[in-house]
Amino acid sequence: MLTALYKPVNWLDPLDWRVVFDEPRPVEIDVGCGKGAFLLWAVQARPVHNFIGVERQLVRLRKVDKKLQRLGLCNVRLIRIEASYFVSKLVPDDSVSAYHINFPDPWPKRRHHPRRLFNAGFAQELSRTLTGRGVVNVATDDTGYFTHIQQVMAESERFASAPPEPLPPEAKTEFENVFVAQGKPIHRTRFVRLD
């Protein structure tokens, strides 16, 4: 299998999923895929879907790419890019069936809150890019950030809260395993786009 690392021809216009993937299938995006534990599980669990793994650190993406190649998985692409830019500029309207946002940086200091991924503009972009009844799955160990995320999504008036997706142990990210070992509670939720 060739590399799953993908470089758009144009970094300013929305991608055409028919060009990115070999087969037209529902698209799911793992925002901040890290070392790929969740992504690898999801790609194998849902072989009739296409996946994008978004991550800023190239070293992490290369490790995930090697794992994908060993497994011969072809329904996934990896893109090195900042998440909010990717969603706002490169994801087409009404084209994503699910986002998975596991353990985004909580930026706990008040002066760093503007750096948080979840804000009104990001919620609007999630809504724009999701298909009807598309979902956003979120997990975090930070209680304050979890409350913030719920508030942002509720204020957008574009989503309804829903119970989180049940996941098997092999779908846990490395961060989740670390936080669980530290005794931290894991907060999960799902938001469904309103039609």
Residue 123, domain member (yes or no) = yes
Query: Dihedral sign, CA of 169, 173, 174, 180?
Result: negative
Residue 87, domain member (yes or no) = yes
- As separate numbers, helices (DSSP H) first and strands (DSSP E) second, the chain gives 7, 7
Residue 14, domain member (yes or no) = no
- Residue 115: give the domain boundaries: 24-193
Task: Indicate the pairing of strand 27-31 with strand 96-102.
Answer: parallel
Number of domains in the chain: 1
Residue 15, domain member (yes or no) = no
pLDDT of residue 80: 97
User: What is the spatial distance between Cα 63 and Cα 67, in angstroms, rounded to a whole number?
Assistant: 6
Whole-model pTM: value is: 0.95
| CATH code, 114 | 3.40.50.150
* CA atoms within a 13 Å half-sphere pointing along the CA-CB vector of 60: 17
Of the candidates 173, 178, 8, which has an alpha carbon nearest to the alpha carbon of residue 92?
A: 8
For the chain, give the percent of residues with pLDDT over 70. Answer: 99
Grade residue 1 by pLDDT with cuts at 50, 70 and 90: low
Residue 106, domain member (yes or no) = yes
Residue 8, domain member (yes or no) = no
Span 142-171, average pLDDT: 95
Q: Which residues contact 17 (CB under 8 A, 6 or more apart)?
A: 24, 27, 50, 92, 95
User: What is the spatial distance between Cα 134 and Cα 122, in angstroms, rounded to a whole number?
Assistant: 15
- Distances, alpha carbon 85 to alpha carbons 52, 79, 88, 114, 149, in Å: 14, 12, 5, 15, 18
pLDDT of residue 185: 92
Residue 189, domain member (yes or no) = yes
Residue 40, domain member (yes or no) = yes
Q: What is the mean pLDDT of the chain?
A: 94
